[in-house]
Copies of this chain bind each other. A is one copy, B any other.
């Protein structure tokens, strides 16, 4: 190719030719190299009362035998993507009395945190765990699972999944089991009998799966742990925040998702900070507020809140006398494994943000 020849192409023609061949110049894209994360997802808050009302209606409109009444929370910033944050999905699900779900499995990993109702079960790989409010239940990636409500009352839980992450990694697999229920091969709550003890473990269990072999983390244990540490200083930004653990490794319960339970004591206002990684919170009890990038989100029992990556966050319990407890899921384990977890304390203004406005959910 001679200099003469190439001289003849105009910039416009050159770009047209380049694009026609599925190439773009770095000079056309540099603005996407942002100085820090600028997520399209936004903070958001769904009120517990809204769930109550819509769930109740869903029981009428979507009767048993058809589909599961699971309300998927869509982040308003993500253009209709099935996602509450870039990596995580939160949902609220109601089981009607007598309802069962057909056994299936998928690569997205899931947790359940029981909001209401005692006595429904989740079965995972041949073991049934019976659940009560505050219990955390795991359904690891690719494990067969089904569930049912043998009681006379509705059961409601919060679902957390890493479905958006699995989709963006192009690793989605899904399969129905050939009969409605996986045969039971282990006693009820067997994983709790084996692995639910404080630092003592069976020597004859040799396998150490990537996901926790303990399928249910009881509310009594979680609440007891919070109470036993309530006189500690805890973390200046997050207070008495405890992580549910893989009992064999001490790592996160699931390779893509961490679960936390967090006590914010009466009157406590924590300091502001930010970190990479997104989260979805469920308010187990109490009243408080979280200031996210200057906007105040007021929360109470039953609410669900979204936290984007790198947003400055600051939690407070606004009651003078009652504890607040937050359950949350987060994709921090993914960022840590990939060397992408960054944290930063908020240094200005004594570590507390100026509030510029208060969030009003557009509840209808």
Question: A residues within 8 Å of B by Cβ?
Answer: 1, 3, 6-7, 9, 11, 14-15, 17-18, 20-27, 29-30, 32-39, 41, 44, 46, 50, 52-54, 56-62, 66-76, 82, 86-87, 91, 93, 106-107, 141, 166-175, 187, 192-204, 208, 210-212, 214, 217, 221-222, 224-225, 228-229, 231-235, 238, 240-250, 255-256, 260-261, 276, 278, 308-310, 331, 334-335, 337-340, 342, 361-364
This protein's copies in its complex: 4
CB distance from A4 to the nearest CB of B (A): 11
CB distance from A181 to the nearest CB of B (A): 19
With A36-B172, A73-B22 known as contacts, the answer to whether A261 contacts B200 (CB < 8 A) is: yes
Task: Give 5 CB contacts A-B under 8 Å.
Answer: A6-B57, A20-B362, A25-B62, A169-B276, A248-B250
Contact call B334/A338, Cβ cutoff below 8 A: yes
Bound: A277/B150 CA distance, A? 41
Residue among A35, A310, A340 with the most chain B CB within 10 A? A340
From the candidates B7, B62, B73, B255, name the one contacting A339 in the complex (CB within 8 A). B255
A53: chain B residues within 8 A (beta carbon): 1
Q: In the complex, which residue of chain B has the Cβ closest to the Cβ of A106?
A: B33
Q: In the complex, which residue of chain B has the Cβ closest to the Cβ of A245?
A: B199
Bound: A38/B314 CA distance, A? 40
Contact call B337/A203, Cβ cutoff below 8 A: no
Contact call B198/A71, Cβ cutoff below 8 A: no
Q: In the complex, which residue of chain B has the Cβ closest to the Cβ of A244?
A: B200
CB distance from A82 to the nearest CB of B (A): 5
Contact call A197/B224, Cβ cutoff below 8 A: yes
From the candidates B72, B175, B232, B309, name the one contacting A29 in the complex (CB within 8 A). B72
CB distance from A317 to the nearest CB of B (A): 18
A195: chain B residues within 8 A (beta carbon): 199
Contact call A73/B193, Cβ cutoff below 8 A: no
Bound: A107/B364 CA distance, A? 41
CB distance from A297 to the nearest CB of B (A): 15
Residue among A171, A234, A241, A310 with the most chain B CB within 10 A? A171
Contact call B203/A37, Cβ cutoff below 8 A: no
Bound: A229/B203 CA distance, A? 12
From the candidates B173, B204, B245, B261, name the one contacting A35 in the complex (CB within 8 A). B173
With A67-B27, A173-B35, A173-B342 known as contacts, the answer to whether A7 contacts B211 (CB < 8 A) is: no
